[in-house]
Structure 1
Amino acid sequence: MTAQSPAQTTAPVSRLKTGAEFLESLKDGRRIWIGNRKLDTVFDEPGLRKGAELMAETFDDQFKPEFADATTYTDPATGELSSRAWQVPRSPEELRDRRKIIEYSSLKTGGTFGRPSDLSPGIVAGLMAYLPTFQKKKSLIDGCNPDFAENIEAYMEFGRKTNLTASESLAGPQTDRSNPKAAEAAFLRVKKATKDGIYVSGAKTVGSIAAQANDIFFTNLGGLTTTPPEACIWGAVPIASDGITMISREMVSQPGASKFDHPVASMGEEADQFIVFDNVFVPKERIFNLGDPDGMSWYGPVCAFAHWHVLTRLTVKSELFVGAGHMVLDILGTGKIPAVQQMLGELVQYQQTLRAFVTAAEAKASYTEAGVLVPEVGMLTAGRLYSIQEYPRIIHILQELCGQGLVMRFGKDAFESPEIGHYLNDLLPGHGVSAMQKEHLMNFIWDMTSGALAGRVALFENVNSSPAPRLRARLYEEVDRAKFVDQVKTLAGMDW
């Protein structure tokens, strides 16, 4: 009898990055200004530093068993362990698996990072979904002739292999809307084309996490079929590229606060950046469209995964609203009041409806020309429209459930003060919880609904999802109504 050797198992090659490696990658000489102050590094501003450190935790979580399934997958083509952020779904199971990292990052940040590091890869996946279309396209700018399809595939592989964090900025600066020339003036434009790449100048805005990312993935917002050829660009460059300057909006988080006083705002933030491109070189290998107005009109289909991300994140946040609202009823002893039950019921209705939109978008997903499974865009658009219409009311309901608890808030120092703490502890207890425990919940809800960070997030949700009129216009364009017309004609006996 021949002895059998124990089976040899080899761990797959890992393409994951640690939190320390991510933070180290941000020390690259990037140019960031806040007010009149130029930062030496992103870590010199507490809000940016804390936000980067929170992002670093998401990298470390990849190595923890409890988060591994949500954050990582084994790439089927290479067998390498990779971040789910760079997974391109080609089956219903893979689509559901890809959603896990969206739900993970949304919960990790309390939904306050509208563009966490797993969002931008979704746009690259959207380009991959229409690879045959981009394969047929050619540069319409003389002097530079990139292979768009080859570049898209290479960038997806580059992102996966390096566990890349990329910011995306599609919107242009806010200018005089009555003058089309004023809006066009701020577009990113090709200033010079060479065989090795192009030089671009202009600006992008609402560059969320740009200061805390490795790359910037950019275009001029799609659907602009009248955009001049020199402004028709899709591309990506390192955020520390020569000629890129970031001007940060003011910080709205509370990075120096205790976790008790500001459970969410103390985690830092994704600080939106106004990004100036001053003769920035974009290598030929990092260009995905150049000079083709029709390529710009693919914004909607290409960004389907990003819009799925937005809707999923809002769904996760709605679940936090329901959980917090339920806890308020418990600690205030108001759960048996019919009117209060109905208010919580509205929060549940919002959450259930958003979850239904996500489920329906995935159930109605379809394969693209490249064999990529993409959520149904009509459901995504309708879900985002519902979410932003109801969001202000949902916030108001949660605030109303808390009553004076949000108006009269006290920090940990006050509770621990030997002179006044006993008053607060003795006179402000909740139902079955201490006064401090009740206050901790109120502080969480303040951060999610009422503080400066919450105000910025509420404004961002509306801008990020697109204003309601634009979403209604998209529904008009995206949803095929021919079947519904046929049903009316059949029922009514119309033969015309």
Structure 2
Amino acid sequence: MAVRNGQQYLAGLNDDRVVWLGDKKVDVLNEPKFQGSLNGMASYFDYQIEHADDCIVDDPERRDEKMSASLIVPRSKEDLQIRHRALDRFARYSYGMLGRTPDYVNVVLSGHVARRDIWEKGDLVYHDRLTKFHREVIEGDLSLTHAIAHANIDKGTGDLAGMNADLTLHVVKRTESGVVVRGGKMLATLGPFSDEFYVYPSSPIPSGAEDYALCFSVPSNTKGLTMFCRDHYGVQASVADAPFSSRFDEQDVFVVFDDVEVPYERLFIDGNLDVYNNVTRGVSPGNTLQQTAIRAMVKLEFAYDLCTLMARITNSEGRSDVAAMLGEIHTYMKLTKSAITAAEANAHEWGTSGAFFPHGDLAVLRSIMPEWMVRVNQIICALGSHNMLATPSMDLFENPEVGDMLRRYLPGANDIPAEERAQIMRTARDFAISSLGGRVELYEMFYLGSLNRARAGDHMVAQRNGFGGQVKEFLAKSGVGRK
């Protein structure tokens, strides 16, 4: 079953996973509130097959079998080009509104497999296990979520200090067959709709915290794994009325590992800080950010087109303030595309085990993209204003009692039909100010980590790499520098 369709994906969720929504434990497949999201994710797998030329490639290890292109272990510029085409196509399924489609963690996992040299700092048996797990994901076409953020409840102390030390995931016992882990992790987007929880390093941890230095994967129905859902923002509405909320709420969960036993064959890092603290910096800046940046570019393209249509509907495109806002989004879109193009053109081998990733400068988008996405929503609100609130259900236009009235009193400018006006404004409302739209904005702000931490990290990396000297050089050339 190298590539699954939507029905096969849903069948894989038919198990005894423990999921709490509101005040009750729910059966994921039969929970009414989840139906739109389940259909949306099943359609993602069907979409992958429909666009097989872009999304599916030959399995290099199994003759005549296929696999998702997001699981390519990149070894060349050609691999990156093939993967780029697939990631672009995947992003266009939701036009960037789904941030945790399976291709995201697939790219992360494949990057980890590519950097075998990082695991050489310890026992390579752990990387052999990781490679075997990657093969399981390929052959099962599995849907993975990640759970990587520490349960940092008390922000007045360190991530692994004080009460946080007891609350976040760590090893509590070892058995003949595996390690027993206990604690919470944030934030597992797609959790209820995933096949596996892949836990891997996010930020470095200090010496003495080896019990927290873990990388492993367990099935989503593993005994002791409990998911606590936020309110579900999917709505039981037509795609016409709620094009995003009706099918694209990926659901975030706080996950608790209550004495979960992780088999040794699924344990990929076990207390080795040299490995743990180097995985993310050795994979994320070039590899993972390729998926992230492409999704962002597709989303910005959509937002620019959406806002342009909104301006035409209100006949405001020619106003200087409106044109400036449209140009602002266009600038964000082009800068993102340029960063991707440059990083892929300057792709190179990372480490010594043949990993081939885009240039790490692509990671600068972590430090600016969150602000761009928030600004896009502000512009949508400015352009749409009350028009996004005056959006009747699309079904009303077919109602013989009021349809003609709506067509008469709620048309768009420039001879744009009332139905088109309502459709565009409803799309804008769902994108920016619905419950799901607000959740997505918050997700964009933090899903790659703290903005301040990202910027501080960029500065430290620049200094570690020797950036600087221009000021003293200038002063020396001007004859005023210190001798």
Task: Indicate whether the TM-score tops 0.5.
Answer: yes
1:163-222: CA deviation from partner (whole Å, max 9, x where unpaired): 111111101224112242212212211122134211111111211111101100013642
C-alpha contact (below 8 Å) 1:101/1:118 kept by paired residues = no
C-alpha separation in 1, matches of 2:248 and 2:325: 31
- 1:164 maps to 142
Residue from 311, 320, 340 that aligns with 1:329: 311
Cα 1:478–1:401 change in 2 (3 A) is same
Please state if 1:54 is matched with 2:40.
Answer: yes
C-alpha contact (below 8 Å) 1:122/1:303 kept by paired residues = no
Deviation of the 1:321 alpha carbon: 0.4
Aligned residue for 2:333, secondary structure, equals helix
Cα 1:83–1:318 change in 2 (3 A) is same
- 1:117 maps to 102
Residue from 49, 72, 75 that aligns with 2:59: 75
C-alpha contact (below 8 Å) 1:123/1:303 kept by paired residues = yes
C-alpha separation in 2, matches of 1:218 and 1:422: 56
- 1:342 maps to 324
Cα 1:390–1:268 change in 2 (3 A) is closer
The amino acid of 1:259's aligned partner reads V
- 1:426 maps to 408
TM-score normalized with structure 2 length: 0.92
- 2:177 maps to 196
C-alpha contact (below 8 Å) 1:89/1:95 kept by paired residues = yes
1:128-186: CA deviation from partner (whole Å, max 9, x where unpaired): 23212213414xxxxxxx82111111111111111111111101224112242212212
1:455-480: CA deviation from partner (whole Å, max 9, x where unpaired): 00000111112222111112113336
The amino acid of 2:461's aligned partner reads E
Greater displacement, 17-26 / 475-484: 475-484
- 1:5 maps to none
- 1:389 maps to 371
The amino acid of 1:471's aligned partner reads A
Residue from 447, 456, 464 that aligns with 2:439: 456
C-alpha separation in 1, matches of 2:156 and 2:378: 35
Q: In the TM superposition, what are the counterparts of 1:200-239 in structure 2 within 5 Å?
A: 200-219=181-200, 221-226=202-207, 228-239=209-220
C-alpha contact (below 8 Å) 1:220/1:231 kept by paired residues = no
- 2:8 maps to 21
C-alpha contact (below 8 Å) 2:310/2:384 kept by paired residues = yes
The amino acid of 1:437's aligned partner reads E
The amino acid of 1:75's aligned partner reads D
- 1:7 maps to none
The amino acid of 2:260's aligned partner reads V
C-alpha contact (below 8 Å) 1:120/1:167 kept by paired residues = yes
- 2:19 maps to 32
Q: In the TM superposition, what are the counterparts of 1:41-440 in structure 2 within 5 Å?
A: 41-64=27-50, 67-79=51-63, 80-138=65-123, 147-179=125-157, 180-219=161-200, 221-226=202-207, 228-254=209-235, 256-298=236-278, 299-304=280-285, 305-368=287-350, 369-380=352-363, 382-430=364-412, 431-440=414-423
1:374-432: CA deviation from partner (whole Å, max 9, x where unpaired): 2222322x112221122222211122222331132211244334333322111111223
1:203-250: CA deviation from partner (whole Å, max 9, x where unpaired): 112111111011000136421124622221100010101111111110
Deviation of the 1:487 alpha carbon: 5.8
Deviation of the 1:30 alpha carbon: 0.7
The amino acid of 2:266's aligned partner reads R
Aligned residue for 2:74, secondary structure, equals coil
The amino acid of 2:52's aligned partner reads A
C-alpha contact (below 8 Å) 1:48/1:270 kept by paired residues = no
Greater displacement, 333-342 / 441-450: 333-342
Aligned residue for 1:216, secondary structure, equals strand
C-alpha contact (below 8 Å) 1:329/1:335 kept by paired residues = yes
Aligned residue for 2:138, secondary structure, equals helix
Aligned residue for 1:28, secondary structure, equals coil
Identity of aligned residues (%): 26
C-alpha separation in 1, matches of 2:281 and 2:465: 21
Q: CA RMSD in A?
A: 2.2
Cα 1:187–1:221 change in 2 (3 A) is farther
C-alpha separation in 1, matches of 2:469 and 2:156: 41
C-alpha contact (below 8 Å) 1:49/1:268 kept by paired residues = no
Aligned residue for 1:271, secondary structure, equals coil
The amino acid of 1:316's aligned partner reads V
Aligned residue for 2:180, secondary structure, equals strand
1:310-363: CA deviation from partner (whole Å, max 9, x where unpaired): 222111110100111122233333333333222211111111111112222222
User: Which runs of structure 1 show a deviation greater than 4 angstroms over 4 or more consecutive aligned residues?
Assistant: 480-484, 486-496
- 1:4 maps to none
Residue from 428, 447, 450 that aligns with 2:430: 447
Cα 1:425–1:100 change in 2 (3 A) is same
Greater displacement, 200-209 / 328-337: 328-337
C-alpha separation in 2, matches of 1:86 and 1:277: 27
C-alpha contact (below 8 Å) 1:32/1:211 kept by paired residues = yes
Name the count of aligned residue pairs: 471
Structure 1: runs of 5+ lacking an equivalent: 1-13, 139-145
Cα 1:495–1:130 change in 2 (3 A) is farther
Aligned residue for 1:321, secondary structure, equals helix
C-alpha separation in 1, matches of 2:462 and 2:81: 23
C-alpha separation in 2, matches of 1:412 and 1:359: 40
Cα 1:82–1:297 change in 2 (3 A) is same
Aligned residue for 2:87, secondary structure, equals helix
- 1:8 maps to none
C-alpha contact (below 8 Å) 1:247/1:273 kept by paired residues = yes
C-alpha contact (below 8 Å) 2:229/2:251 kept by paired residues = yes
Deviation of the 1:106 alpha carbon: 2.1
The amino acid of 1:30's aligned partner reads R
The amino acid of 1:468's aligned partner reads L
The amino acid of 1:239's aligned partner reads S
C-alpha contact (below 8 Å) 2:213/2:272 kept by paired residues = yes
TM-score normalized with structure 1 length: 0.89
Structure 2: runs of 5+ lacking an equivalent: none
C-alpha contact (below 8 Å) 1:378/1:478 kept by paired residues = no
Aligned residue for 1:118, secondary structure, equals helix
Q: In the TM superposition, what are the counterparts of 1:475-490 in structure 2 within 5 Å?
A: 475-479=458-462, 484-485=467-468
C-alpha contact (below 8 Å) 2:48/2:90 kept by paired residues = no
C-alpha separation in 1, matches of 2:330 and 2:57: 32
